[in-house]
Amino acid sequence: MIAREVEISFQTGSDAKPIALIVQEASKYDSSVYLETDNKRVNVKSIMGMMSLALKNGTKVKLSADGPDEAAALENIAQKMSH
C-alpha cells in the first residue's frame, strides 16, 4: 500500500463532473483506492462515496492505493485531483 497527500485544485460545487472523472480514472485500476479527509474514508471508485465528502478547492486529502497497479493508480488519480 502506498499513500500521499493531495490538495484538491479543481472547481467543486454542484457540478459533479470533476468527481465523475476521478471515479472513472480510479475504475481503470485493479488496485483498491481510498480517499481520507476529516476522519472519513471512502472508496474512490464509488461516486456516491466521493460526493458524500463535499470536497472543496484547496482541501488536503490522503489518497491511498493498494494492489498490483497501485503506483500508476495513485499517480494518475492524484493528477486528476490537481487539475
Q: Check: CB of residue 28 under 8 Å from CB of residue 69.
A: no
pTM: 0.90
CB atoms within 10 A of CB 37: 17
Domain hosting residue 31, numbered range: 2-81
Per-residue pLDDT, 11: 65
Distances (CA, A) of 42 to 19, 46, 67: 13, 8, 16
State how many domains the chain has: 1
Which CATH number fits the domain that encloses residue 12? Answer: 3.30.1340.10
**Per-residue model confidence as pLDDT tens digits over 32-75:** 999 999 899 999 999 999 999 988 889 999 999 999 999 999 99
